[in-house]
Structure 1
Amino acid sequence: MRLTTPVKQHVFGGRAIPERLGRAGLPDGPVAETWEVSDVEGEHAHVLNGALAGHTLRELALGHPDELVGRGWRGPRFPLLTKFIDAHRPLPVHLHPDDTAAREQEGEPNGKTEAWHILYAPPGTTALAGVRPGVDHDRLRQALLGQDFDAVLRRLPVHAGQTLYVPGGTPHSFGPGTLVYEIEQTSDLQQHAMRHRMEDGAPIDDGQWRANIEALLREWRPEHRPDFHPGLRLPSEGGVARRMLCAGPYFALENWRVRAPGSAVPAFDTCVVLSNIGAATEVTCGAVRESLGPAETLLLPAATVSGVRIHGPADVLLGYLPDLERDVRAPLLAAGHSPGAIAALGEGLG
């Protein structure tokens, strides 16, 4: 399934998605984000191809959950949101609530845990993720009001090919010069600490800014201090080199490098978000053939994913809803990785 992809031209964006990744068809000017698969309110993706063309992702998720999402999933919206993000300038310091805070503070069914897979970052690039040990609410409030983020937030080195799993409730920012693929829970809830709007850089009045900081403090989870991870190799099979990049209760993300000119068959019983981070390739399902250009995405429904073939050479990312024991822990243990290394990929793996 090929979907509509909203484009966000926020002021922090640049031209890396079309120029570095090779994505075609994007507008002139800054391109901060392309929402590859979205069921966010007001940004519902529509199917562009096949017999279901014109239907929204929400309609299909609610009407045909087993065929689309798989594994007995039920929910109010399609569960995965994926994006390419160009932080040509730094993103605002912000956080997304976890599920509990989303329900209690925002009246929404879920929060937003996310992960960043770094596609490009120049030498010396850093990101902010989580609060330093010993920082309490008062100290964090003081630093945010003073816009002194380095006094309280952890600054981490950023390298292409690494991935950071960011639980809901974690203050964070990345950029400048950072190109990211992001997978997350379907939500647009966020609390910002900046004195300007993320979208257009317009100033925020003092009262609203202070209210934003108080909301951030209410939704902050002090225990989260994530670190970047290079991923863990899985056994190669069918001409595919696989690497598990991150995993948790909401999503898993793998990198597949299809080396052979033959094909690779994904073996999942859930839907798969398939995003291309390399050169143009092709994906087939029976007699149906779809091209997959650079920085483009296809959604593979659970009902058809076992018949899909990725034609190499290709460099792709696969996001899906994991059974953590069956899809993540067991194969990684069988590949010789330690329990500690596996647990470091995200949440729920200890």
Structure 2
Amino acid sequence: MERRPLRLSAPVRPLVFGGRSIGRKLGREGLPDWAVAETWEVSDVEGNGSVVIGGPLAGRSLRSLVEEFPQELMGRGWRGAFFPLLTKFIDAEGALPVHLHPDDATAARVENQAVGKTEAWHILQADPGATALCGVREGVGRDQLHKALVAQDFDSVLRRLPVRAGETIYVPGGTLHSFGPRTLVHEIEQTSDLQQHAMRWNMEDGSPVDDQQWRSNLEALMAEVRLDSRPDFHTGLRIGVGDGVDRVFCCAGPHFALERWRAGTAEPLRRSFSTAQILTNVGPPVQVSAHGRSEELGRGRSLLLPAVMEQVRIPGPADVLFGYLPDLALDVREPLTAAGYSPRTHRLPGRGCVSTRPHRARARSARAGSRSREPPTGVFRPGAGGSHTRKARRGPGTESGGSRCPHHHERTRGHATAGI
């Protein structure tokens, strides 16, 4: 595999809540002339996987690259059978249906799937007064929740949170949720499309769900809901990494991390890495340079940076997101601690280590790319492709004796629906 970015196909989804903000507000070109709800920027979901556009690997599926180039693409020691991250733009011109995705344990027990879906929403734009439903209110029991869902009285049992641009919320599997209207989101999540819906209408076209099917959907949802999951929005943790270059940790957890980087014109953005990175542009067009090559990344577009690239340089002005599978200690805690954030007092969305107030005695800038690190341990194994000897944990798509290839269908135990 060459040390160059991969440009991937990005299927669009014409769901009933969609609008035209991905093109008009985010500035993405080339969208169809109809309301678009979602673009799947990087996907290895079965039946909706990304394909390489251009270059020597043109036409290859993302799944085939993971299989043929596991360590070059993902990082040294990789043992998963599929790409572990799914990223999207979501235009909630209307409100999304109230729904949930199972967590890993429930997906394995109920759906016979290797992973569930934990996700995070990074808010790009939201109208004044925009809100989201996320999590069951404290003190609400199963009977009360079920009665409210039958009555479609969501506000009586679900938490309604204000939504503001620049904030992020980490939504564990099993959390009932919805957002919109008039909200534009970048979403990062596990590679899965399992879900259960509470609504009486289909989100593909707004057509009604018959009563028997709807009640079956509610029963499936009640079997997977987590009553104790009540996440909140967070502004993220900011550190300076150069003259006019800011790095914001939006969220970090065992399934993924998301960072937002901004650069002015004084100094380019430089990032070093040893695992695959999803680079998404939410600002003006930029030039992405590495190893003697440079290519433009337009507004609202994404590139997949293989681990073998190791570094990237982006002159400003720039406003981009990096999504990746983290080693929480090295990728998150270490730079935040070096910047003066105290591990005892701060928490990031996703249980990753975060803080809202720096530790005064240690406050100082941390420079990105100043160290060489080993790959995250989540689904990486020792002894593969080099002298990687870190203790590894099992992750999505792996078993102790080898890889397990899950089938991530678009499906629910109630009625089949497209993804969110």
| TM-score of the superposed pair, with normalisation by structure 1 | 0.97
Judge conservation of contact 1:239–1:264 (CA < 8 Å) in 2. Answer: no
Instruction: Find the aligned partners of 1:311 and 1:235 in 2 and give their Cα distance.
Output: 16
In structure 1, the residue matched to 2:351 is 347
Instruction: Find the aligned partners of 1:243 and 1:71 in 2 and give their Cα distance.
Output: 26
Taking only the aligned residue pairs, the percentage that are identical comes to 60
**Residue 223 (structure 1) shift:** 1.7
**Residue 135 (structure 1) shift:** 1.1
Amino acid at match of 2:264: R
Instruction: Find the aligned partners of 2:76 and 2:222 in 1 and give their Cα distance.
Output: 36
Q: Alignment partner for residue 334 of structure 1, among 332, 338, 341?
A: 338
Structure 2 residue 318 is the aligned partner of structure 1 residue 317? no
Deviates more, 1:200-209 or 1:280-289: 280-289
SS in structure 2 of the partner of residue 298 of structure 1? strand
In structure 1, the residue matched to 2:143 is 138
- Alignment CA distance shift 1:238-1:251 (3 Å): farther
Deviations 1:41-67 (A, max 9, x none): 111111112211111100011221111
Provide the aligned length of Structure 1 versus Structure 2. Answer: 349
Structure 2 residue 258 is the aligned partner of structure 1 residue 243? no
Q: Alignment partner for residue 272 of structure 2, among 259, 267, 270?
A: 267
Instruction: Find the aligned partners of 1:43 and 1:305 in 2 and give their Cα distance.
Output: 28
Structure 2 residue 189 is the aligned partner of structure 1 residue 179? no
Amino acid at match of 2:117: K
- Alignment CA distance shift 1:335-1:261 (3 Å): closer
Instruction: Find the aligned partners of 1:272 and 1:58 in 2 and give their Cα distance.
Output: 16
Q: Alignment partner for residue 298 of structure 2, among 282, 293, 296?
A: 293
Unaligned runs of 5+ in 2: 1-5, 355-420
SS in structure 1 of the partner of residue 280 of structure 2? strand
Would you identify which runs of 4 or more consecutive aligned residues in structure 1 move more than 4 Å? none
Amino acid at match of 1:18: G
In structure 1, the residue matched to 2:383 is none
SS in structure 2 of the partner of residue 36 of structure 1? strand
Structure 1 residues 87-236: aligned runs within 5 Å: 87-236=92-241
Instruction: Find the aligned partners of 1:99 and 1:134 in 2 and give their Cα distance.
Output: 25
Judge conservation of contact 2:101–2:196 (CA < 8 Å) in 1. Answer: yes
**Residue 338 (structure 1) shift:** 3.2
In structure 1, the residue matched to 2:382 is none
In structure 2, the residue matched to 1:25 is 30
Judge conservation of contact 2:117–2:194 (CA < 8 Å) in 1. Answer: yes
SS in structure 2 of the partner of residue 210 of structure 1? helix
Amino acid at match of 1:315: D
In structure 1, the residue matched to 2:42 is 37
SS in structure 2 of the partner of residue 124 of structure 1? coil
More helix, by proportion: 1
More strand, by proportion: 1
Deviations 1:88-136 (A, max 9, x none): 0000000011101111111111011000000111111110000011111
Q: Alignment partner for residue 13 of structure 1, among 18, 21, 26?
A: 18
Instruction: Find the aligned partners of 2:31 and 2:350 in 1 and give their Cα distance.
Output: 33
Judge conservation of contact 2:10–2:41 (CA < 8 Å) in 1. Answer: yes
| TM-score of the superposed pair, with normalisation by structure 2 | 0.81
Judge conservation of contact 1:23–1:296 (CA < 8 Å) in 2. Answer: yes
SS in structure 1 of the partner of residue 25 of structure 2? helix
Deviations 1:136-190 (A, max 9, x none): 1111111111100001100000100000000111000000000000000011111
**Residue 71 (structure 1) shift:** 4.4
Unaligned runs of 5+ in 1: none
Tell me: higher relative CO, structure 1 or 2? Use CA pairs within 8 A at least 6 residues apart. Answer: 2
Amino acid at match of 2:341: H
Deviations 1:308-333 (A, max 9, x none): 21121100000011100111112112
Amino acid at match of 1:48: I
Deviations 1:295-318 (A, max 9, x none): 000000001132x21121100000
Deviates more, 1:225-234 or 1:252-261: 252-261
**Residue 345 (structure 1) shift:** 2.3
SS in structure 1 of the partner of residue 271 of structure 2? coil
Amino acid at match of 1:330: E
Instruction: Find the aligned partners of 2:301 and 2:32 in 1 and give their Cα distance.
Output: 15
CA RMSD of aligned residues (A): 1.4
- Alignment CA distance shift 1:143-1:300 (3 Å): same
Instruction: Find the aligned partners of 2:293 and 2:13 in 1 and give their Cα distance.
Output: 31
